[in-house]
Amino acid sequence: MVVVADDHGVSAGMEGPEDVLTGLDPQQREVVLATRGPVCVLAGAGTGKTRAVAHRIAYGVRAGIVDPRHVLALTFTTRAAGELRARLAALDPAAGSGLDRVTARTFHAAALRQLTHFWPRTVGGPAPAVLDSKAAALAEAARRLRLRLSGPELRDLAGEIEWAKVTQVRPGDYATAAAKAGRVPPLAAAVTAGLFAAYDDLLRERHQIDFESVLELTAAILAGHQAAQVAVRERYRYFVVDEYQDVNPLQKLLLDTWLGDCDEICVVGDPRQTIYSFTGATATYLTRFTAEYPHATRIALVRNYRSTPQVVALANRLSRGSGGGRASGTANVEPPLPGPELVAVRPAGPQAEFTEYDDDSAEAAAVAASSASLIRAGVPAGEIAVLVRVNAQTERFENAFAQAQVACQVRGAERFFDRAEVRQAMSLLRAAAKSSQPEEDAAGQVRDILSGLGLTGDPPKGTGAARDRWESLATLARLAGEISAALPGQGLAAVTGELARRAATGQVPAAAGVTLASLHAAKGLEWDVVFLPGLTEGTMPIVHAQSPEQIAEEQRLLYVGITRARQQALLSWALARSPGSRRTRRPSRFLAVLRPAAAPRGRDRGVAGGSRARRTAGGAAPQAGQAPQWLIERLKQWRRQVAMEQGVPAYVVFTDDTLRQIAVLRPTTSAQLAGVAGVGPVKLGRYGTAVLELCARPGGEQ
């Protein structure tokens, strides 16, 4: 069985199989009870797919339908595999049913374990070493061919070779296959093919393999050696595969080799979140699963437990497509995305906001200022994300956040526990743990050790390597403090052991500041508030997306970005690259279906440099002016009281920005209040009377 991890709660302390059904919605129960034969689960974003999958495994084990030792749960990330194991452990805290013996691994981890085990007895000698990164090997292969390549060229070539390998294209066939697939290689196709061949030759000389070859060679050994094949198929007889929409041809080849004639497979995925087609991934295996297995059970999970109805409605509007998008002056009708629409379950939240800026600098400054406002209103910085189409966009936001003195962290460049300063700190912590006593303050010891590596009370000014190093150490200290609080009296050894376990399972700590990430790197994550800037033609969709298939991929990528938000999504675009330059950009075609059709528009003063911004959120922002400070404080005091009564963060009631706009306008009627950005129909009905009364009172009166 191949399984993956997700996001919504797990019930603990269950004993009988029927207890596993407690707290599941009707569709999740269907998944759990579909214990035999092929099962296809179309799981929309935030619908609790990992919960359903974990409970399905637990039910099958408790009911005696499956031996936990025969379950193989396949995921795409180490973090997802770790989350699934944690969920299974929560369903079986005493390990009485053996859920701790379920195997949950990534495709590569499962394949590498088998390759290492079977290589000596099938091929002979030690198994080849796995290459950490293709870049260095490609650089050496290029030098052999007398080619001088830049870092970006090497990265692009690595991606091209990965595509060729997962689609089973050999160097000699590369040029023809690339042309047929419509790919544009970083170098001439013939040169790329030659470099591809030289790269393979170099790895053979060094007895090394890359990650793609791990899958290919494992499949080859199992297909060519009966004893190895029998051993694996006897061990694994029950499969669950998560994120099945991202499976590529090489992974499908290996999966079919593992399965043989077995049809005990449950696949889970969402065709609306297929965003890795450029790497060779395809949703075809998911969408045609019932054609491959005509007797398969098909279940759709549609109840979204992650996001507010406003966010869900935004995602559904995008997924429906509809006409009206325009690019290069030509009408484009975007087709609906395949898959079921989401159904909102959570209480209402803030409306989405759509803001137009004169230039990139104004947009970045406004996003940083809005983030600062949210943080002041009670939103943790780690629950805010800025998601961009390409990594190159993050620099301007890093600079804007530094100017606004708001901590931020770029995600996706390097895994937290792989950072040099974190590895160094972990080494020192392990050494200190050997002589530490349980009664000593573990959190204090960690801070003392990290202070020797540069951790200070306040972060260094600006951005750069020093700030990045400080952020890493501060995050590690915070994480150690949380673990120490959860393990009272167990000392530094226990804290260090838990840190090592999280490093091994890919459990990356949440960012201490606002997260900056690409849309691709955000897959599988979620935040309370998500900013989606840069929504212009040429960026979203990206300029090289020309075919209908490529445009659809961009549409899905934006869908993934929207569905990362729990409370609110804020979308924006800038008409020019820099202040004073020509405003030649056009808003993304996708905004035509996202923005409310008849939303009134107003203009308010932009945050940066006197730039002007245009915002719509189902209502217009009031004309900027001087807000009475006494009224702002009165509104904030009221908001604090309401938030405490409802048990929600203050910003969920109204953001600081919305309160300022209300104070500027001082509305006297519901219609005027409804014109303030951030005051939708639900909030108007819920808070309108109280806000109008507060605005009507004379100054200073509470």
626 burial type by CB count under 10 A (0-12 exposed, 13-18 middle, 19+ buried): exposed
Cα 623 to Cα 677: distance, rounded to the nearest angstrom: 11
Task: Flag residues of the chain having pLDDT under 50.
Answer: 1-14, 323-331, 333, 413, 598-611, 618-624, 702
For residue 669, what are the CA distances in angstroms to 616, 680, 692? 20, 14, 7
Cis peptide upstream of residue 541 (ω within 30 degrees of 0): yes
Helix H or strand E encompassing 361: helix 360-376
Residue 343 has what pLDDT?
93
| Contact in structure between 310 and 351 (CB atoms under 8 Å) | yes
Residue 490 has what pLDDT?
78
Cα 471 to Cα 516: distance, rounded to the nearest angstrom: 14
Residue 462 has what pLDDT?
59
- Please give the angle made by the CA atoms of 14, 18 and 19, to the nearest 5 degrees: 25
Could you tell me the pTM of the whole model? 0.76
| Contact in structure between 574 and 358 (CB atoms under 8 Å) | yes
Nearest-10 Cα torsion for 493, 496, 497, 502: 170
Residue 506 has what pLDDT?
58
Residue 327 has what pLDDT?
41
Spell out a b/e string for 479-502, using b for 16 or more CB atoms within 10 Å of the CB, else e: bbbebbeeeeebbbbbbbebbeeb
